[in-house]
Structure 1
Amino acid sequence: MMLARLRLARVFDQAFHVMADLQWTMLAVLILVHALASWELLVLAGETELTEPATFFYWYATTAYTVGYGDLSPQETAGRLVVALWIFPGAIAAFTTVVAKVLGAIGDVWRRRRSGKGDYSRMTDTIVLIGYHPVRTPKMIDELCAELAREQTLVLLTRQALSEPDERVRYVQTESLTSPAALTRAGLAGASRVLIYTDSDSDTLAATLAAGACAPEAAHIVCYFDNEDSARLVRQHCIRAEVVLSSGPEMLARAARDPGASQVISALTSHLDEGATLFSLTWSAVDASWRDLARRCLDAGATLLAHQPADRAEPAFNPPAEACVSPGDRLFYVAAARLDPAVLSG
């Protein structure tokens, strides 16, 4: 008797593993075949209360789900044998196999994402960070998460294998920051912003050129350089990229001449500190004078700093009072929080 039980358990175990390895289409076919065979056997057993199609579907599903309400059950001896020997083992095995495959698929997706193998190519309006610095990249993520115009997904593309990636970002690991396949997996084709900060200017240059070729025209690309020569190459070959150049020496000189200047500049560029912060917006209303907009900003608790016409690469500070601000121009202001453009339009 014990030997028979062991053989039966081995048969069911092998059957379960065979079903778990099946493709979804074949699994669905087997479930359908088992359900039809079950219905036919119940018909032959004379279980008329269970064989009406809608009733059978309800009873078969509750049996497979192991819910077992008990409101329907076989009444004949033959029907009970069919249920015990055929329907119970097959339906429950099919249900548990489906659950196992679903949980396995979810686990595979989670493991792939944790290991940097995820695919975010279908995502849109994302912010893609290219490159990783163990100290500065987490600070960039803090800044981005502290103040976003709306909920956006952060995707980090890096060569480093991160054992504990930041939970706030989607992580993509690659051998090359210029790989078209990796840039595609990171969702660059649907990104709205791209931030590039790597270990060296040469890597940043290559990544910026690759990103410029893959990112949509409307995407805003920002890259950081230590060296002016590398920055100049980007300005020549990827004119839509905004270059951030290291200002360490200039900052030291400015702080020496004007004590506290470095602290003010640092505070203006961080969303993490309380107080005034530098923001920008694209003017979309009708033409207005600089004087009128400066007054509206003051009324809203902000200070207007600079104006960048749509046809200029650099902003102008303290333009003439009658300078015209047209739709598409960019305004820079200091405020405790980002302003609603509608406040200035009125």
Structure 2
Amino acid sequence: MTSRHPGITSDALRAYMLLQRLKLARLFDRAFHAMADLHWTVLFALILAHAVLTWILLALAGEAKLHGAATFFYWYATTAYTVGYGDLSPQTDAGRLITALWVFPGAIAAFTTIVAKVLAAIGEVWRVRRSGKGDYSRMTASIVLIGYHAARTPKMIDELCADLSPDQTLVLLTRQTLTDLDARLRYVQSESLTSTAAMVRAGVPTASRVLIFTDSDSDTLSATLAATALAPAIAHVVCYFEDEDHARLIDQHCPEVEVILAAGPQLVARACKDPGASQVISALTSHLDEGATLFSLAWPDRPPRPFVDLARALLDRGATLLAIQPGRDSSPTFNPAADRAVGPGDRLFYVAAKRVDVATLTV
């Protein structure tokens, strides 16, 4: 067989026609799936087509009062929303038939479909977050808690939420699947506590605080190393160890990390020598107990002030100044000299019933 197109063989023509059929088949396949899934673009296109055709039909029916663009949009919307104020309605028999047989079914179906899709989207977001698959990478100034200890983590969450500022969000990254989720926190579930993708979803790269507290020192060690590689320089990273050797490794490789070591033996010895010391230390570290609690504040970029002046200023606000820490990597100094200047970056530790706003000390 020869082609009617000179220079084109029959095989080439068959290949060309097959290619066009494949393209057309792909086009129909995409349209079918779009209709089946009812994507937003398809839904809005159908609503627009239905509204335009309604406007044309009403114009042909002589509905002059509904023909204006603003008036028609108002009437069409109130009809679709099933509000039906009654201030506008078709006046002709043809217009009423069009409304009953065409507008009501199409517009109301479109409105209910939109409501169903919005509710489904909200439900999907809720389901994803409940299952630990949420993404909180856009959050800033959040507190990320890595790891879960069945007995201790709920208490830590209570302590953190008791002193959580309005602009902060608590995010928990854990391997466990939590069914009874605490409404005060966001939840990220991962098979590994060192997963970069999971830490990014939990918001570690933009967090202001990162706390690592797992059920084993080896997990805490690996998670701390992974978190410090992602956390911003301004973030404060804290980790807890039972074993002194693991704590020493973090001190050597990540000196900017604040390491908390289990103080059981030291606390027992102190309580033996000074009865009641354990109760005092416990009260100072808890926001849940009534009375005084240990707080800290960083002196801002303001002129230095003598330690004794700040001690008096805090005392006037019901707080007792205990110590000063010149830098993040240095040890706090208790009862420094009265004329010791407190400058930008120095951290003050004080005991008070509530946190003191540093702005009230700089005026």
| 8 Å contact kept, 1:20–1:100 | no
Q: Distance in 1 between matches of 2:228 and 2:326?
A: 23
Q: CA deviation at 1:49?
A: 1.4
SS at match of 1:49: helix
4+ residue runs over 4 A deviation: 17-20
User: Could you tell me which residue of structure 2 aligns to residue 52 of structure 1?
Assistant: 68
1:114 to 130, 146, 163: 130
1:240 to 241, 256, 259: 256
Q: CA deviation at 1:149?
A: 4.1
CA RMSD, aligned part only?
Answer: 1.7
Q: CA deviation at 1:294?
A: 2.3
User: Could you tell me which residue of structure 1 aligns to residue 193 of structure 2?
Assistant: 177
Gaps of 5+ in 1: 1-16
| 8 Å contact kept, 1:277–1:334 | yes
Deviations 1:79-105 (A, max 9, x none): 222111111111110000000000000
Deviations 1:197-228 (A, max 9, x none): 00111111111111111121111111111111
User: Could you tell me which residue of structure 2 aligns to residue 34 of structure 1?
Assistant: 50
Matches within 5 A, 1:137-148: 137-148=153-164
Matches within 5 A, 1:59-208: 59-208=75-224
User: Could you tell me which residue of structure 2 aligns to residue 296 of structure 1?
Assistant: 313
Q: CA deviation at 1:136?
A: 1.0
Q: Distance in 1 between matches of 2:318 and 2:173?
A: 38
| 8 Å contact kept, 2:255–2:329 | no
Q: Distance in 2 between matches of 1:186 and 1:330?
A: 28
Q: CA deviation at 1:187?
A: 1.4
Are the structure 2 counterparts of residues 311 and 94 from structure 1 closer, same or farther at C-alpha, using a change threshold of 3 Å?
A: closer
Q: CA deviation at 1:333?
A: 1.0
Q: Distance in 2 between matches of 1:37 and 1:235?
A: 73
| 8 Å contact kept, 2:213–2:239 | yes
Aligned length: 330
SS at match of 2:296: strand
| 8 Å contact kept, 1:129–1:197 | yes
| 8 Å contact kept, 1:20–1:101 | no
SS at match of 2:65: coil
User: Could you tell me which residue of structure 2 aligns to residue 279 of structure 1?
Assistant: 295
Q: CA deviation at 1:299?
A: 2.8
Q: CA deviation at 1:295?
A: 2.7
Higher Cα Rg, which structure: 2
Is 323-332 or 98-107 further displaced after alignment? 323-332
Q: CA deviation at 1:312?
A: 4.6
Q: CA deviation at 1:19?
A: 6.0
Are the structure 2 counterparts of residues 149 and 48 from structure 1 closer, same or farther at C-alpha, using a change threshold of 3 Å?
A: closer
Confirm or deny that 1:327 pairs with 2:344.
yes
Matches within 5 A, 1:259-278: 259-278=275-294
